[in-house]
Structure 1
Amino acid sequence: MTQPPPWLQEPVLSPRLVLRPGRDAEADRAAAVELLTDPKVREFIGGPLSVEDAREAVSGPAGQRWGSFVLELRRGSDGVEGSVVGVCSLSRERGELEIGYMLLPRYWGRGLAGEAVATVLAWVAEHLDDVQVIAVTQAANTASLRLLARLGFVERERFVEFDADQVLLMSPVVSAALHLAACPSRAPGPSQ
């Protein structure tokens, strides 16, 4: 495995999103606090944090952690250009490259999570030597399971963690990255 590249020298673009490192900016911190305190967002990942705990969690330098992508709307997308809609992340906490994502509920149902995950996987295929990526979600999170299946992830194992049934899924990087090219978003591309 080669060393990870310096973290995101240039933003990564998808049809409707800009994936970028976080900024030490109030808008990024406000979106992060909203994600961490929202009961719907956190339903399957340990429940919402208190506002105090969420502010403390985002009080350090924003966005410099390797693998952390802030998801921002591009011009011509649904919503206000530059709005932070969520985050997508890569980690190796389980010993394998793992992808995770959170979107603010007002952006659910638009295909943005799938677009973001496919874009990150395309970035992985271009920049890293990993041949597969894992994702873990609660078995009760059927929406996330459906999204990951659409991107080519298949169940590898089930286990209990945090007092809940979990599903570990895996996907070859190539099949997931190709999904973006084979199944582009139905939304019109951004105007240039």
Structure 2
Amino acid sequence: MTSSSLLLRPFSGTDSEFFATLASDERVVRFIGYGKPWNQQDIDACIVSALQHDDLNQVGASRWFVASMAGQAVGVVFSTRQENSIEIGYWVSPAHWGRGVGGTMLDQTLVMVPELFGLTTLSAGVAPGNTISAKLLTKRGFTLTVHTDQLDHYVLSPQSN
């Protein structure tokens, strides 16, 4: 897959159904939150949050993006300002697993998010069993900084990205 065939665009209200499909798919959420499909209330709360456009300098401000190929949604990227970093996350539709979509989404995120929020440290939380995501991050310069039974924390400093 070429990176030019994948487009990251801002999340909009019309993407709600796609997000709900991902959030209710046990394969997608296996390593996210409690590892179980989300209920409608949690899905709706996340969508409301995604559609807010708080000042990007505020802790908690986030921007979501939908990854699409040939006009079809294939994944979602999240970015949220934390105290000391911008936390990123990404979900790929199972129909597109194993095709390089996650890596391409991450590559584009590593360019776009620092431009959007200002050059800053990036972080990502990964469930310890999610070896594919851990490999995607470390291949791009992220380092494992904290390991727990529930979540590994990876960081990419501005000098690295």
1:41-76 per-position Cα deviation (integer Å, ceiling 9, x unaligned): 1001122113x3365346648644442111111xxx
1:1-34 per-position Cα deviation (integer Å, ceiling 9, x unaligned): xxxxxxxxxxxxx412221112222xx1221111
Identity over the aligned pairs, expressed in percent? 30
Partner SS, residue 43 of structure 1: helix
Q: Please state if 1:29 is matched with 2:25.
A: no
The Cα shift of 1:109 comes to 1.0
Residue of structure 2 equivalent to 1:116: 105
Of structures 1 and 2, the one with the larger relative CO (CA 8 A, separation 6+) is 1
Which letter maps to 2:66?
A: V
Q: Could you tell me how far apart the structure 2 residues matched to 1:92 and 1:58 are?
A: 15
Give RMSD over aligned pairs.
2.3
**Unaligned stretches of 5+ in structure 1?**
1-13, 74-80, 177-192
Is residue 136–residue 169 contact of structure 1 (8 Å, CA) maintained in 2?
yes
Indicate which of 63, 66, 72 corresponds to 1:67.
63
Judged with a 3 Å threshold, the aligned counterparts in structure 2 of structure 1 residues 126 and 157 are, in CA distance, closer, same or farther, namely same
The Cα shift of 1:175 comes to 3.5
Is residue 85–residue 120 contact of structure 2 (8 Å, CA) maintained in 1?
no
Is residue 33–residue 58 contact of structure 1 (8 Å, CA) maintained in 2?
no
Q: Could you tell me how far apart the structure 2 residues matched to 1:87 and 1:67 are?
A: 11
TM-score (norm 1): 0.68
Q: Could you tell me how far apart the structure 1 residues matched to 2:142 and 2:47 are?
A: 34
Q: Could you tell me how far apart the structure 2 residues matched to 1:15 and 1:141 are?
A: 27
Which has the larger helix fraction? 2
Bigger Rg, which one: 1
Q: Please state if 1:149 is matched with 2:134.
A: no
Q: Please state if 1:56 is matched with 2:26.
A: no
Indicate which of 69, 73, 78 corresponds to 1:89.
78
TM-score (norm 2): 0.79
Indicate which of 154, 157, 160 corresponds to 1:169.
154
Indicate which of 39, 47, 65 corresponds to 2:26.
39
Q: Could you tell me how far apart the structure 2 residues matched to 1:60 and 1:90 are?
A: 15
**Unaligned stretches of 5+ in structure 2?**
54-61
Residue of structure 2 equivalent to 1:102: 91
Which letter maps to 1:53?
A: Q
Q: Could you tell me how far apart the structure 1 residues matched to 2:95 and 2:10 are?
A: 22
Which letter maps to 1:34?
A: T
Partner SS, residue 4 of structure 2: coil
